[in-house]
A = this chain, B = another copy of it.
């Protein structure tokens, strides 16, 4: 009969390596998916790239769908955690600074997760009901957050003349397009602060001279 701690040790070691293996497969799958796309990637490629057997893959993930969804959820969670409310009380950090911080954070997240972001932008639409729903939900969250902020700002007189829904769509669409151009379509680095500043300036002050 093995001693208690021996069992614990085994179990712990097992769990550690299980987690490690799982993470390893996810990491490689992320790379392969982002290089080849979801449909062009077969489970065979996944397992041979990860250097494990077919069955091993299925011990850790229920299906090709499942690992893909998990990868996407990871990024969406990352992004969601960067949406923080803007504090409009007088004592707070200036609104523009707060906005800049949020945008910089979002851009940082996607820059640091280029492969996932690419998948998200290139593959994650029309692929899978669950993914679509999650994506739509995140987009709606973002839109709702911006719209509500605009409402408050309107009420406080901080902004004016806004068609809230349209303006919210403009803000969200601008971010998506920037991510698309700066992160998805190219590998070239860019200055986050400059971009964030320019976006905020664009949306707050518009193109016409004042």
- Chain A residues at the B interface, C-beta cutoff of 8 Å: 37-39, 121-123, 125-127, 132, 136, 143, 150, 153, 157-163, 165-167, 169-170, 172-178, 180-181, 185, 194-195, 198-199, 201-210
Sampled A-B contacts (27; CB under 8 Å): A39-B127, A121-B125, A122-B125, A125-B125, A136-B185, A153-B207, A159-B208, A159-B209, A160-B207, A160-B208, A161-B201, A161-B209, A163-B194, A163-B202, A165-B181, A166-B178, A166-B195, A170-B170, A170-B177, A170-B178, A170-B202, A170-B203, A173-B173, A173-B174, A173-B177, A174-B174, A204-B206
B163 touching A173 by the CB < 8 A rule? Answer: no
- Asked if residues A207 and B150 are in contact (CB atoms below 8 Å), the reply is yes
Chain B residue contacts of A150, Cβ below 8 A: 207
Interface of A is mostly: helix
User: Contacting A208 at CB < 8 Å: which of B39, B176, B204?
Assistant: B204
Bound Cα distance A112, B203 (Å) = 29
Is the CB–CB distance between B198 and A166 below 8 Å?
A: yes
Q: A169: which B residues are within 8 A, CB to CB?
A: 174, 177-178, 181
Q: Of all chain B residues, which has the CB nearest A163?
A: B198
Which are the 4 A-B pairs with shortest beta-carbon distances? A173-B177, A206-B206, A163-B198, A173-B173
